[in-house]
Amino acid sequence: MDMEIALSIVRFLHYSAAIQLFGMAVFETWIAPEGLSTSLLPLSRPIAVFNVWILFLSALAWLGLEAGYLGDGWVDVLNPSTIGLVLTATPFGQAWIWSLLLGFLAIVVIHTLGLRRLSALAIVGTLALAALSFVGHAVDQTGIMLALSEGSQVIHLLASGFGFGSLLSVVLLLTRISDPRLAGDCDRALRRFSGLGHAAVALALATGLANSWFILHDQPLTLTSLYQLLLVVKVALVGTMCIVALVNRYVFMPRIPKGVIGVRLLRDGTIAELIIGTIVIAVIGVLGLLSPS
């Protein structure tokens, strides 16, 4: 397998796990009422455990592939001296030490505290997702531009992570909404998520535009650049996702009190958002390997 393909796959897995872990932990800690959160534990626990392990293992794989990418290819993927050099002598490595530590900490938290201490997992998930702001094209800036770019990227990742990462929890929630004991909790959680989701989408769109400017402000705009072409594809996918989200909120969600059809429509619409968002993460995995010029 080509190393760039392997690296893009690992990047996709790591971003997906970080976003899903963050979104699910935040949703079930601060959005869902306690009764609903407890009810969702049997469904969310195996998903969280899976994402925690993918987060840590993909961090290790990303480090090895980065060593091979910067070194002499596959022979350096497991070369301790090359890996050590990447960790100590490159901006990526110095930032990645934190990602490795946070990935390991997430494993410790979920296997010792469990999901009943979701707040601890939510904090670790927040830090793990924010840490991704310090690798990639954002670090190509210097001085005040670097600080602004990294700050914008932190906000972008957390806003996007909440908006997209919480969607699977919404799907799980919809499996409980027919239970009379949980119907009120489900309604409150959906309304809280909807209100915060509007703010998250606005922040994600604003910082996404800012991040694009930070990266491309001194580059000629042309679709002959694969980076810029994929960026246009990403924007189109995000726009489509926003339209689906609006339909879910203002067309399908009000139909829930009218019967099962409303729940089914909202579930299918949310799954559609998940599919589009997953494709967006795959595009991001490739964008990080391309030169903006």
Q: Residue type at 45?
A: R
**Consecutive H or E run containing 275:** helix 260-287
What is the model's pTM? 0.93
Q: Give pLDDT tens digits along the chain (293 positions).
A: 688 899 999 999 999 999 999 999 999 999 999 999 999 989 999 999 999 999 999 999 999 999 998 888 899 999 999 999 999 999 899 899 999 999 999 999 998 876 557 788 899 999 999 999 888 755 556 678 778 888 899 999 999 999 999 999 999 999 999 999 999 999 999 999 999 999 999 999 999 999 888 888 777 878 778 999 999 999 999 999 999 999 999 999 999 987 789 999 999 999 999 999 999 999 999 998 888 87
The structure tokens listed for 163 are: 């908006």
The structure tokens listed for 68 are: 């091979």
Q: Where are the domains of the chain?
A: 3-206
The CA–CA distances, whole Å, from 162 to 36, 72, 100, 129, 152 equal: 18, 38, 22, 10, 15
E runs forming strands in the chain: none
* Span 160-211, pLDDT tens digits: 999 999 999 999 999 999 999 999 999 999 999 999 999 999 999 999 999 8
Give the burial class of 259: count Cβ atoms within 10 A of its Cβ; 0-12 exposed, 13-18 middle, 19 or more buried.
exposed
The CA–CA distances, whole Å, from 47 to 22, 54, 93, 248 equal: 12, 11, 29, 24
